[in-house]
Amino acid sequence: MGRGLIFSVVSCCAMLILACSTSSEPRWNGKNYLAHVKLDSSMLLVTEVAQNLEVPWDLVPGPDGWLYFTEQKGTINRVDIETGEIQNLAILDDLFYRKSSGLFSMALHPNFDIHPLVYIHYAVAEKDSNFLDLISSKVVQYALEGDSLINPKVILKNIPGNTYHNGSRMLIFEDKLWIGTGDAGDTRTVQEIGTLNGKVLRIHLDGSIPDDNPYPNNPVWSTGHRNIQGITVGNGKLYASEHGPNNDDEVNLIQKGSNYGWPDVHGFIDLENETAYSKDSVTQEPLMAWTPTIATAGLEYYNHDQIPEWKNSLLLTTLKGRSFRVLSLNEEGDEISKEHLFFQKFFGRLRDVAVGKEGEVYLATSNMDWHQGHQPWLYDSLPKSNGDRILKIQIANGGIQRQLATLEKPLLLQEEFVPISLSPEIAKSNTSDKDLDNGAKLYGTHCAACHAPDGKGNVGQIPPLVDSEWVSGNVARLIDVTLGGLNQPIEVNGVQYQGEMPAYKNLGDNEIRDILNYIRTEFGKTKGNIVAADIVHQRKGLK
Dump the DSSP string for 471-538. Answer: HHS-HHHHHHHHHH-B-S-EEETTEEE---BPP-TTS-HHHHHHHHHHHHHHTS-S-----HHHHHHH
- Residue at 513: amino acid letter: R
DSSP β-bridge partners for residue 392: 47, 362
Angle between helices 433-446 and 509-522 (to 10 degrees): 100
CB environment 184-221: b (16+ within 10 A), e (fewer): beebebbbebebbbbbbbbbebebebeeebeeeeebbb
Q: Looking at 165, 243, 266, 371, which residue is catalytic?
A: 165
196-to-107, 141, 247 alpha-carbon distances in Å: 19, 19, 24
Quote the CA–CA distance of 107 and 117 in Å, as a whole number: 9
Judged by phi (left if over 0) then psi (alpha if -120 to 50, else beta), residue 438 lies in alpha
446 is annotated as an active-site residue: no
Do 293 and 243 contact (CB within 8 A), yes or no? yes
> Which residue, 182, 169, 423, 426, is CA-closest to 321?
423
* Best CA proximity match to 487, nearest among 159, 127, 145, 108: 127
In single-letter form, the type of residue at position 398 comes to G
Query: How many Å apart are CA 298 and CA 327, to the nearest integer?
Result: 13
Give the β-pairing of 388-395 and 176-180: unpaired
Distances (CA, A) of 465 to 112, 455, 523: 56, 5, 6
Q: Give the residue numbers marked as catalytic.
A: 165
